[in-house]
Chain A
Amino acid sequence: PASSSRSCRLEEVPLEVLRQRESKWLDMLNNWDKWMAKKHKKIRLRCQKGIPPSLRGRAWQYLSGSKVKLEQNMGKFDELDLLTGDPKWLDVIERDLHRQFPFHEMFVSRGGHGQQDLFRVLKAYTLYRPEEGYCQAQAPIAAVLLMHMPAEQAFWCLVQICEKYLPGYYSEKLEAIQLDGQILFSLLHKVSPVAYKHLSKQKIDPILYMTEWFMCAFSRTLPWSSVLRVWDMFFCEGVKIIFRVGLVLLKHTLGSSDKLKSCQGQYETMERLRALSPKIMQEAFLVQEV
């Protein structure tokens, strides 16, 4: 929900622990190739524990490979930034700028820096991949990135998400997201037969509840602190984290006959999935379940 971005309070990590984590992460980032080659498991573990907020933006760029991508394409973003762009895309992008995290201080004012950078990043992508253009679900993704890094860095990180992490999600026919909906549903069969049976019986197509979850990588669904923890893991481990989060939410919402008592019908079920219990979305609970 929109309001989630207003509360940026993270789970209380003792200051001392935080300092320790920061120095560990600094060491990793300074010797990145070595760590990636030899101690990938350790990186994964540290991503699961949560990246220190002060280093999050940098870490995401290393994890996603967008840092390398930028270095390989020096000046490319500036080049795209100077171009006008196809009016067909610009029109849609401009109409979406004020609709991303409208309560976040960065995006709150029309034409403010946040919205300007969002425009630059999204426009640059339509020039970088003209055959792909712009998809409305890219805006929240880019906005989250901009909260953590400058426009050029956010652009390359977006490129990595669109091409490496969630390939095809934002493309013309949206086929990849529909396919992943089916995959999620068959995984649910194993993870929670009760939830699976209920959704089948109610004829609730996965596309109905998972489109926004997956296309926005839960950035509009979870409380803010959980979004960040999920993204930390997502950048390290990829799309399977998105699947796992989806499965945890479904299982803990519809996974027992007790839970199903109050949502017998299709619309009650949909309502329930739209307004998930805060308890299961809480950072500590969710991350441990994933």
Chain B
Amino acid sequence: PAAAMPFPSSGADDAFDYLFKIILIGDSNVGKTCVVHRFKTGQYNEKQQNPIGVDFTVRSMDIDGKKVKIQVWDTAGQERFRTITQSYYRSAHGAILAYDLTRRSTFESIPHWIHEIEKYGAANLVMMLIGNKSDSLDKRQVLFEDACTLAEKHGLLAVLETSAKEAQNIEEVFTLMAKELIARNTLQLQGENPLNSFSLDSRPVIASPSVEKTQCSC
């Protein structure tokens, strides 16, 4: 299926049913660029240069028979780049907030990133939390339960622990996000309150075989 295949660079006139813009934010060096790289190419590249400013990637996915084009906007994590990256929050449909589960401080910054989104993003923007580097569980500094508590408190869509290195949950992150956005889109088209879409069950429970309970639906 298309979802599992790297998608070649987009042509001007290939058709799609949905187009979603997703921003990827979080502290420096939590693995944002590696996550995008894995999503786009299916590969892990340890020798990844850090983005300066904003970078973007497009990939098409097949979701329930619909062709969904996903643009991921990868951002520089350093504080001072926020004045530049903020201007891209406004038009985003979704935001993936990333922390490094082996580094507590990156998790503690998450409320700050949420605040940024609330301040500069659209009101109905869908937020999701990912704890990257689940390949290094022996160095874990953030409990999955803590991440779930935080996500619940802020009304985020879900929390997933990911590994760009070992390809854990990367597809799932984007699939989940896309499904939620499709669901909300459908509701909005029907003229219902988009907030109600929280109750919509568009969140399949995914447990990757090697890591148990890597996702909570909040």
Contacts and interface: CB of A to CB of B under 8 A. Distances in A.
Interface in A123-179: 135-137, 139-140, 171-175, 177-178
Given A103-B47, A205-B87, A267 B58 contact: yes
A263 B81 contact: no
Contacts of A271: 9-10, 58
7 contacts: A92-B78, A99-B50, A100-B49, A136-B76, A137-B52, A267-B10, A267-B56
A288 B54 CA distance: 30
Contacts of B5: none
A33 interface: no
Classify chain B: how many residues form its interface, as a range: 20 to 34
Given A99-B50, A220-B49, A268 B55 contact: no
Given A211-B53, A212-B53, A267-B58, 5 more contacts: A102-B47, A103-B47, A216-B52, A267-B10, A274-B56
A100 B29 CA distance: 13
B76 to A, nearest CB: 6
Contact of B84 (A92, A103, A207, A263): A207
A167 B81 CA distance: 16
Contacts of B153: none
Contacts of B197: none
A174 B12 contact: no
Interface centre among B28, B53, B71, B83 (most CB of A within 10 A): B53
Interface of A: 2, 92, 95-96, 98-103, 135-137, 139-140, 171-175, 177-178, 205, 207-208, 211-212, 215-216, 220, 262-265, 267-268, 270-271, 274-275
Contacts of B78: 92, 135-136
B199 interface: no
A99 B83 contact: no
Interface string B173-209: 0000000000000000000000000000000000000
A136 B12 contact: no
A171 B84 CA distance: 13
B48 A99 contact: yes
A209 to B, nearest CB: 9
A174 B52 CA distance: 12
Contacts of B81: 136, 174
Nearest to A135: B80
Contacts of B10: 267-268, 271
Contacts of B9: 271, 275
Nearest to B105: A91
Contacts of B56: 267, 270, 274
B28 A262 contact: no
Nearest to A208: B54
Nearest to B88: A208
A135 B81 CA distance: 9
Contacts of B83: 173-175, 178
